[in-house]
Amino acid sequence: MAGPVQSRGAEYATTRSPNRLRTFLLCLLTTAVVALAAIILAACADDIVPTGQPAPAPATAPAASLAATAASAGTAADATDSVAAAQAFLGTLTAEQRAVALLALDDPARPNWSNLPAGAIKRNGVRIGDLNDAQTAAMHYFLSTALSADGYATVVGIVGAEAALAQTPSAARRQWSADNYWLAFFGEPLAGSKWGWQFGGHHLAVNVTVVAGRSYLSPAFLGIEPASFTSGGATVAPLDAHLQAGLALINVLDDQARAAAIVTNRPRELWAGAGQDGTIPPLEGTQVADWSAAQQQLLLDTIMLWVGLLDVPSSQARMTEIRADLGNTYFAWHGPVDGSGSIYYRIQGTNLILEFGIQGDLGSDAGHYHSIYRNPTNEYGTGV
């Protein structure tokens, strides 16, 4: 288990400057992108370890093609560019692998994803551990093309945390392994056609539908354990910005709005997490319409941590939809506002459900986060 993530909640409580907090969050995002290449290369070299544990003996050097992928991650202009990358990946597969990886757009198995480790549910698609080097490189190229640079960094970082978890004593019994992630396509990836893809495993599920050059994300589960790990001597914490964003929001509010935001109960994990398609949490908390423009922008920056998984044009289009619904959006918080214990927050509107929660206390059982992003009006692309 990773050591505690140091919270800045106390700082937020005394310095409620939305512009300052927004700058801090943007700096966290930049740090995640800078760490991207190290995460990928270290994952291949098996030198990822939970924070505070000694690194194993160095393994063989990673493939150069993955280093090139890291350097060019998130360069796609829009979702159209991912078509060629998807076809290139599918072209590396055997006939048997392709039959497993490419399913019908309306295949009833599409909701088959989970945040639990391998073995808990039958996943869709081909497994990373069953791919050869060329196929693995093609898979990374697709992901780096279909996602933004930030999105690719986040996804690979979560898999990197799994590689750290895989070096703990109970890993074999619990099937913790960076090999246990799957990629599937729904519908033939063709320009002008509607198609989708799914990538996930333990603590990760990214569900995307592509229509007319735009990617639509929903649902997306981002979780992590340990919350931080070392890679190439550096500490990597892919979801720290998501934690700090919540603390920033609750502490930038005035006393009245903060009191309205705090709720007396929270789900054990998430209201709308894995296996909860169609679940709408209770609408509670403080209404965002009453916030200042700067506070609303800080909330939008927080939402962008999830929406920004996608290419820039798709992300911007989605944020326009969310911004238009701010009048119907609520922010709810549970837990200590100084970040000294287990926290949970939810941002919810007509077309948005976003939840983030710590599993255990931040100061004692730190290092295990769950989050979910959904557009209840367009799950699995059914609304487009």
Give tens-digit pLDDT for 329-366.
Answer: 999 999 999 988 889 999 999 999 999 999 876 543 44
Q: Do 27 and 43 sit in the same domain of this protein?
A: no
In this structure, the answer to whether residues 353 and 268 fall within a common structural domain is yes
Q: Which of 5-14, 87-96, 117-126, 311-320 has the lowest mean pLDDT?
A: 5-14
Boundary residue ending a domain (185, 214, 235) = 235
Q: Report the distance separating Cα 373 and Cα 304, nearest Å.
A: 11
Among 235, 260, 288, give the residue marking a domain's end.
235
Residue 2 belongs to some domain of the structure: no
* 343-377 CB burial, b ≥16 within 10 A, e <16: bbbbbbbebbbbbbbbbeebeeebbbbbbbbbbbe
Percentage above 90 pLDDT, the chain = 70
Considering the domain architecture, whether residues 16 and 47 belong to the same structural domain is answered as no
pTM of the complete model beyond 0.75: yes
Q: Are residues 127 and 94 in the same domain?
A: yes
DSSP label at residue 310: B
Residue 62 lies in a domain: yes
Q: Is 194 within a domain?
A: yes
63 part of a folded domain? yes
Residue 85 within a domain: yes
| 307 vs 330: CA distance, rounded Å | 17
Q: In whole angstroms, give the CA distance from residue 344 to residue 359.
A: 9
Mean pLDDT of 256-263: 97
Q: Are residues 210 and 338 in the same domain?
A: no
Residues 226 and 336 in one domain: no
The number of folded domains in the chain is: 2
Residue 43 and residue 25 share a domain: no
Q: What distance, in Å, lies between the first and last C-alpha atoms of the chain?
A: 42
Kindly state whether residues 66 and 25 are assigned to the same domain.
Answer: no
Q: What domain range includes position 161?
A: 39-235
Statement to judge: residues 26 and 50 lie in one domain: no
